[in-house]
Amino acid sequence: MGDEYKEDLLGQFRVFLETQPPPDEHEIQQTDLFSLYSELATLRTEIKLESRQFKATLDLLKSVVDTHQVHTDSELQQYRKEQITQRREIMRALLLDFLEIRDRLEAAKGFFNKYQIIAEECAILANHCEQEIFPSRWKRFFHREVETAVTVQKSRVSSGLQKGLNSLKNGLWKLGEGQAITLRRLDQTLNRYRVQPFETLHKTVDPHTMRVIEIDKQPQLEEGIVTEEIRKGFLWEDEVLRLAEVKVNKLSDV
């Protein structure tokens, strides 16, 4: 293909472009508005559809979150209840151990008080004792010097016995006082934890707070009356911490 032919084709194309009428602006505008409205309608439909899907997704997510929250709250509440129950059981066992210690302290205090009274009585007897080491009928067989020596020896023995008994009495008093102080402090500790003893003596037996250990028979009292408290019972707040062990009056043999 020669250069002349190419130039001829290019010239014809230029003429075509120069002689072609311009496009109608109104037609272009009509076509653009229709396309725009169509696209907007399609977009609105898609937005509505996506909104419905998004709302359904949100509702499903909210339902899942609410279910999970309810389940979590239930588990948390159950865990707290179990924790409170566990702590209370541990505290209950600890308080029962304190009560066992209190029983031993109270028994020791009673022991020291009892033997302190015995020591006091022995000291009084030793102080007023005038019994001779040897009977009077033996005196005629001894010289005055021997009798004097015996009297001196008796005085020494009596004095030593008196001192020993006084020392024993003082020692028992100090031990008893120490036990009483310890017992009072333990009672104060129990009181801080709202642990209180309850009365049973001369009351009608209550199976919810008392355990019958022994049977008594006193005709002047009604049946079912507590005549002796063998082991003290305690309340912890509004709960029975330990049952009281009691002796109960029973008139009938059946």
- Helix 25-127 / helix 144-192 crossing angle, nearest 10 deg: 160
DSSP string, 95-112: HHHHHHHHHHHHHHHHHH
Homologous superfamily (CATH) of 196-254 is: Head domain of nucleotide exchange factor GrpE (2.30.22.10)
Write down the residue that tokens 């120490």 correspond to. 178
* Nearest by Cα to 232 from 62, 110, 59: 110
Length of the chain in terms of residues written: 254
Mean pLDDT by groups of 10 residues along the chain of 254 residues: 71 73 54 76 88 90 90 90 92 94 88 73 62 48 47 52 67 78 91 94 93 92 93 94 95 70
